[in-house]
Amino acid sequence: MNGSRIKVLPEDLINKIAAGEVIERPASVVKELIENSIDAGSTRAMIEIHNAGTRMIRVSDNGCGMSKEEIQISIERHSTSKITKLDDLFNINTLGFRGEALPSIASVSRFEIRSMIKGGEAGLDVGSQLKVEGGKLKDIEDAALPQGTTVIIKDLFFNTPARRKFLKSDATELGHIGDIVSKYVMAYPQIAFELISDGKQLISSSGIGKLKDAIAAVYGVDIAKDLIEVNFEFQSIKVSGFISSPTTSRIDRNYENFFVNRRYVHNFLLNRALENAYRTLIPLNRYPIAILFVDIDPKQIDVNVHPTKKEVKFSNNYEVMNAIAAATKEALSAVIDNKISPVISQPGVVWENDQLPITNFESGIEVLSPTNIELNITAIQPLIPIYQFKNTYIISTDGDDLVIIDQHAAHERILYDRLSGKSSPEHSQPLLILETIDLNPKESAILNENMDYLKGLGFDLEEFGNNSYILRSVPYVAVKSNAKLMVLDIISELQNIGKTIQLDAKQESIRKLVACRSAIKAGDKLKIDEMNQLIKDLYATQNPTTCPHGRPTMIRLTESEFMKKFGR
Ligand code: ADP
Ligand code: MG
């Protein structure tokens, strides 16, 4: 051994290693190339792929282009036209800045770049084209080209078989590419994007500059037309975009899109802030659709934490979360029922540093306090009940509309809101016959843990040793129910949701259970004045259109819908 075992790695090996971080799959190539097209000021970007990008990816734009010299530099490591000094890093307005993408991609593919700068090379109407194979320059020559840049990647990972093996099925890889393109279509409505896969057009946006058009290009016209606009400023943070109404939801978070200063980001805190605003409005385990843009002073964020720049860190998480929650709540309150014209009295501050341990948040555990936004409901115009259908649905009229109310869901909402208000032991009703409840030690421990809250709701329970209890009274709303069974059910519910869940969420589920068990059932016959009272009480709640589980309490049919059905 000659004593010097430490060596500087050769450039092409460095690039391959860097490629491992930046270029994970065909979709990462698409992402980097689109970002370069956007940074180049393009108004059009066409993405063509074959075999989900494994055989070929071609991205063409009409941006500023590059000179022959610039093309050659662009494939060098850390060459970028976007930052020149350290200070720039804290004030980035472009998507790229690390100067790693092109050399990384070129080191793991057969790579070709064609470009023509505005006006042509040195006044000549000619551009240049350069070929690289596995990081090695093959060829550079002049070529007649339109203004802009085209990058062609063939046989991605041909020289890194281990990487290639990690690729998933074509359908999965294509799905990732579609996702990526969709994000940029929505983030840049002023750019006309087109995605063509094996000759088939999958996405095409007009580039007209309207966000709604861009959303329609991605999610379809039906979804786009029902979205609610968000426009909100909170301290120095602006939140804008579109969200779904509570009647539309999805089974996963894939439709929750966040852009910070136009950059698509992943930050779970943002998802939670959004979802919190929909709590009790949409069913459990369902998620809203959102395309939300957060505009914030670039000095307040750090996007440099991950090579793909997808992660973002905020200097103040809580401020951003509050802004998103308040923006969402404001937008939702305007549509919850426009007939009762709710008014926002204050954008409640929901999170504070000590209130919200990040660790809990990241594990997905709910630690949020209930909404502080209060709706002042004015101008109530109650519906007029005309008939109870199948002893389950109240058919009523509301001006020209026909409204069908689910009596159980409606009553659940009323009781839930009552239980959520200021409750005190006076809200309880003594039982005529005392109940004794025998528990096992575990159940007894759970009951004791939640005893104070249950007492506050109106359950008067007294332990008389050996895990046995006497139940003397129940919440007023629950007088007609089987009290003992309800207490046992609360205990098993608490047991099911487990220890980790936060107090707020526990109490919420107790209220939901008591409301559900105490509410009028489907099949209970109601007199007309009972129906009237139910409607009046329902309209006095904050969210008359949904039950505490987020399901609708009523269906509204307008006269024009009838006319359409009757073919008038
Ligand atoms: P970064 O985007 O981080 O600067 P890249 O490796 O992606 O690094 O690109 C290197 C440079 O090549 C860019 O800074 C830019 O000057 C130039 N470039 C890349 N793609 C294009 C394009 N489509 N149009 C014009 N210039 C481009
Ligand atoms: Mg780039």
pLDDT in tens, 394-449: 999 888 889 999 999 999 999 998 888 754 445 788 888 888 898 888 888 889 98
CA separation, residue 96 to residues 23, 34, 68, 100, 116 (Å): 14, 10, 21, 9, 20
Tell me the residue type at 351. W
DSSP string, 463-500: E-STTEEEEEEEEGGGTTS-HHHHHHHHHHHHHHH-SS
> CA Rg, the chain, in Å?
30
Mean pLDDT of 296-303: 81
Q: What's residue 93's pLDDT?
A: 72
The gap from C-alpha 523 to its chain's centroid, in whole angstroms, comes to 38
pLDDT in tens, 42-55: 999 999 999 999 99
- Taking the CA of 70 as reference, the closest ligand is 1
Q: What's residue 241's pLDDT?
A: 98
- Tell me the C-alpha distance between 77 and 105, whole Å: 11
Residue 413: both structure tokens together: 């909402």
- Tell me the C-alpha distance between 310 and 414, whole Å: 43
Residue located nearest, by CA, to atom 20 of ligand 1: 36
User: Hey, where are the domains in the chain?
Assistant: 11-213, 226-337, 368-568
- Taking the CA of 118 as reference, the closest ligand is 1
Given a cut of 70, whether residue 292 has pLDDT beyond it is: yes
Q: What's residue 365's pLDDT?
A: 27
Neighbours of 225 (CB within 10 A): 10
Average pLDDT, the chain: 83
Between 301 and 38, the more confident residue is 38
Pocket of ligand 1 (CB under 6 A): 32, 36-37, 40, 61, 63-66, 74, 79-82, 96-102, 149
Report residue 276's pLDDT band, with 50, 70 and 90 as the boundaries: confident
Placement of tokens 């709710």 in the chain? 342
Given a cut of 70, whether residue 462 has pLDDT beyond it is: yes
Between 545 and 366, the more confident residue is 545
Percent of the chain with pLDDT over 90: 43
- Tell me the C-alpha distance between 430 and 458, whole Å: 9
Given a cut of 50, whether residue 379 has pLDDT beyond it is: no
Lowest mean pLDDT among 141-155, 288-302, 411-425, 504-518: 411-425
Mean pLDDT of 308-326: 80
Q: What's residue 124's pLDDT?
A: 65
Q: How far is the CA of 175 from the centre of ligand 2 (A)?
A: 22
Best residue for ligand 1 mutational test, from 23, 44, 102, 132 (most atoms within 8 Å of Cβ): 102
Check if the beta carbon of residue 490 is closer than 8 Å to that of residue 454. Answer: yes
Percent of the chain with pLDDT over 70: 86
pLDDT in tens, 475-495: 888 877 888 889 998 998 888
Between 476 and 374, the more confident residue is 476
According to DSSP, the residues that pair with 461 across neighbouring strands are 471
Given a cut of 50, whether residue 297 has pLDDT beyond it is: yes
Residue located nearest, by CA, to atom 18 of ligand 1: 36
- Tell me the C-alpha distance between 545 and 247, whole Å: 10
Report residue 390's pLDDT band, with 50, 70 and 90 as the boundaries: very high
Q: What's residue 505's pLDDT?
A: 81
Tell me the residue type at 451. M
CATH tag for 368-568 (out of 3.40.50.80, 3.40.47.10, 3.30.1540.20, 2.40.10.10): 3.30.1540.20
- Angle CA 285–290–296, to nearest 5: 125
Check if the beta carbon of residue 243 is closer than 8 Å to that of residue 332. Answer: yes
Q: What's residue 349's pLDDT?
A: 35
Q: How far is the CA of 94 from the centre of ligand 2 (A)?
A: 9
Residue located nearest, by CA, to atom 17 of ligand 1: 74
Return all residues near 12 (Cβ < 8 A) that are at least 6 apart.
Answer: 107, 134, 135, 136
Distance linking the first and last C-alpha atoms of the chain? 94
Residue located nearest, by CA, to atom 25 of ligand 1: 65
Strand pairing class (393-398; 401-406): antiparallel
Q: Which fold has domain 226-337?
A: Ribosomal Protein S5; domain 2 (3.30.230)
Judge if 11-213 and 368-568 fold alike in CATH terms.
no
Q: How far is the CA of 163 from the centre of ligand 1 (A)?
A: 24
**How many H helices and E strands in the chain?**
18, 24
- Tell me the C-alpha distance between 48 and 195, whole Å: 6
pLDDT in tens, 234-252: 778 999 999 999 888 888 8
Report residue 13's pLDDT band, with 50, 70 and 90 as the boundaries: confident
Given a cut of 70, whether residue 351 has pLDDT beyond it is: no
Q: What's residue 373's pLDDT?
A: 28
Best residue for ligand 1 mutational test, from 34, 39, 61, 82 (most atoms within 8 Å of Cβ): 39
Mean pLDDT of 231-236: 87
Residue ranges of the alpha helices (H) in 188-261? 211-219, 221-225
Lowest mean pLDDT among 46-55, 63-72, 281-290, 356-365: 356-365
Given a cut of 90, whether residue 561 has pLDDT beyond it is: no
Q: How far is the CA of 177 from the centre of ligand 1 (A)?
A: 20
Given a cut of 60, whether residue 229 has pLDDT beyond it is: yes
Given a cut of 60, whether residue 520 has pLDDT beyond it is: yes
Check if the beta carbon of residue 255 is closer than 8 Å to that of residue 219. Answer: yes
Between 541 and 411, the more confident residue is 411
- Angle CA 83–89–93, to nearest 5: 70
Given a cut of 70, whether residue 323 has pLDDT beyond it is: yes
Residues lining ion ligand 2 (Cβ < 5 A) are 36, 96, 101
Q: What's residue 119's pLDDT?
A: 73
CA separation, residue 502 to residues 11, 289, 355, 505 (Å): 52, 26, 12, 6
Tell me the residue type at 543. N
> Which of helix, strand or coil describes residue 416?
helix
Check if the beta carbon of residue 553 is closer than 8 Å to that of residue 413. Answer: yes
Residue 338: both structure tokens together: 């426009």
Given a cut of 70, whether residue 154 has pLDDT beyond it is: yes
Closest to 102 in 3D by CA, of 14, 15, 173:
15
Closest to 253 in 3D by CA, of 237, 273, 234, 239:
273
Given a cut of 60, whether residue 376 has pLDDT beyond it is: no
Check if the beta carbon of residue 438 is closer than 8 Å to that of residue 467. Answer: yes
Residue located nearest, by CA, to atom 2 of ligand 1: 96
- Tell me the C-alpha distance between 201 and 30, whole Å: 16
Q: What's residue 309's pLDDT?
A: 61
Q: What's residue 308's pLDDT?
A: 61
Given a cut of 50, whether residue 381 has pLDDT beyond it is: no
The CATH architecture one would assign to domain 11-213 is 2-Layer Sandwich (3.30)
pLDDT in tens, 189-228: 999 999 999 999 999 999 999 999 999 999 988 889 989 9
Q: What's residue 201's pLDDT?
A: 92
Query: Which ligand 1 atom sits nearest the alpha carbon of residue 65?
Result: 25
Sheet bearing 428-438, strands edge to edge: 428-438, 468-475, 460-463
Q: What's residue 163's pLDDT?
A: 85
Closest to 252 in 3D by CA, of 234, 271, 267, 233:
271
Placement of tokens 């949701």 in the chain? 497
- Report the range out of 54-68, 156-170, 251-265 with the highest average pLDDT: 54-68
The gap from C-alpha 544 to its chain's centroid, in whole angstroms, comes to 25
Q: How far is the CA of 81 from the centre of ligand 2 (A)?
A: 10
